[in-house]
Amino acid sequence: MDRVLIVDFGSQVTQLIARRLRESGVYCEIVPFNASEQAFADMDPKAVILSGGPNSVADMDTPRAPEAILNSGKPILGICYGQQTLCTQLGGEVEQSDEREFGRAFLNITSPSPLFDGVGAVGEPIQVWMSHGDRVNKLPEGFEIIGSSENAPFAAIANEARQIYGVQFHPEVVHTPQGAKILSNFTHKIAGCSGDWTMAAFRDNAIAAIRAQVGTGRVICGLSGGVDSSVVAVLLHEAIGAQLTCVYVDTGMMRAGESEQVVGLFRDHFNIKLVHKDCSDLFLGKLEGVDDPEKKRKIIGATFIDVFEAEANAAGGADFLAQGTLYPDVIESVSFTGGPSVTIKSHHNVGGLPERMNMQLVEPVRELFKDEVRALGQELGLPEAFVGRHPFPGPGLAIRIPGAITGEKLEILRKADTVYLDEIRKSGLYDEIWQAFAVLLPVRSVGVMGDGRTYDYVCALRAVTSTDGMTADYYPFEHSFLSRVSTRIINEVRGINRVVYDITSKPPGTIEWE
């Protein structure tokens, strides 16, 4: 299987490069620039892509690409900052310019190049997305201009003999309509990748990897009922059968009917060994009086680990703990450029297990994005009702109740959320929306219902569209839908007298309510 290495210099959209490559059947991995030399040696990729980033190559001590990559003879594509550090390191020059470009621009193709095959003819402008202040003003020896824009005369460059390319714009974002084609040209036509990475191939490789890692050991898997852990459970069952024990922990913060659905599917349909633990009192007790969302996450995560450890001991011991860590969790839990990203996914144990636990982690889908996990679930035969479920993060309703959590608040929110999702399904919108949920705000509103005053909670509704969970935009419900669902919630859920709809969008990063 051909592989491409993506060297991350800190761009918010680096993950989208990986998405575009995988969509074209090319397997790739993202590594931070300061770990890329070793990753390059270990991976022996077919090609390398250098991402964008927030730094200026004109400043001291800013990131650079390893010389081993630049001198490897492998095809290289530098994007934005990646292009600038390429030019700087290979003998060109980059300047800090007052003529910045942010947003939509038009690239004029000036010379024929395999990078632009099927994208546009020489002299034909194509729409691209720019995001830069610095710009190249002198090319390294052997390079030529293959595209320019109004404020970036060296917007696309190439050394065809060495198969090294650089673009100032971002081909990975949807705002560059032909961007996926440009990236495909680089991976398939220039680097010669076969594009044979499929979910069926991933399934076979993952099963083989699980068997090699686990051997005759026993695995305990935390089953939440969400897409990620459900896929992991079925994949593990297919790989190691009776060596797997799944533990479903009811935290008391699950969606309505969650426990019955999970137990029915995995114990009865798949015949997977399943331990169902009702730990509602335990979790609610530990969360009593806690209002900080990060503390909630850490308490819930630590309590999960305690429960898993106890169940592993009760079952006679386990050698491995399996969990549904995804690629965005891994990416966002590693601070590639010294920033704050290490705190984004703190509810996943991507950093490892507590030292006291004598178990290794099994994370068979940590290389996949959310939509790829759904495709793997379909490949494994999971029912569409589970594969297509909206994401439900481990902390559950706990992070959808800002402020202190009580049993009363949980029941109010659970009922409101059920009404909301019921109306979405009745309207045929469930599959158009990536994630939808209700939030019980920590404020009360005075209202009039019938002949009496009320002093009840405000419920916020959120719905977003997304592909991979890295970026999100709000779903534009029609006013008639919002009116209908608001009326139902107020009429059917005692404790709520006002409903609002959140229309904020989210940049790359977590899209949960925090």
Identify the residue whose tokens are 């109740």. Answer: 401
In the residue annotation, 144 being an active-site residue is answered as no
> What one-letter code names the amino acid at 405?
I
Sequence-separated (6 or more) residues with CB below 8 Å from residue 211: 239, 240
3-state SS assignment for residue 348: coil
Q: What is the DSSP letter of 238?
A: H
Tokens representing 262 are: 């999970």
Question: N- to C-terminal Cα distance for the chain?
Answer: 40
d(C-alpha 80, C-alpha 136), whole Å:
10
172 among known catalytic residues: yes
The tokens for 1 are 């299987």
To which H or E segment does residue 135 belong?
Answer: strand 125-138
The residue whose two tokens read 């959590």 is 405
What are the beta bridge partners of residue 7?
31, 50
Please pick, among 172, 309, 332, 363, the residue that the annotation labels catalytic: 172
* The one catalytic residue among 170, 347, 348, 390: 170
The beta strand positions in 200-297, using DSSP E, are: 219-223, 244-250, 274-278
Q: How many CA atoms lie within 13 A of 206 on its CB side?
A: 27
Active site residue 175: no
Q: Which of 72, 15, 81 has its CA nearest to residue 40?
A: 72
Q: One of 28, 80, 87, 246 is an active-site residue; which one?
A: 80
Residues labelled catalytic: 80, 170, 172
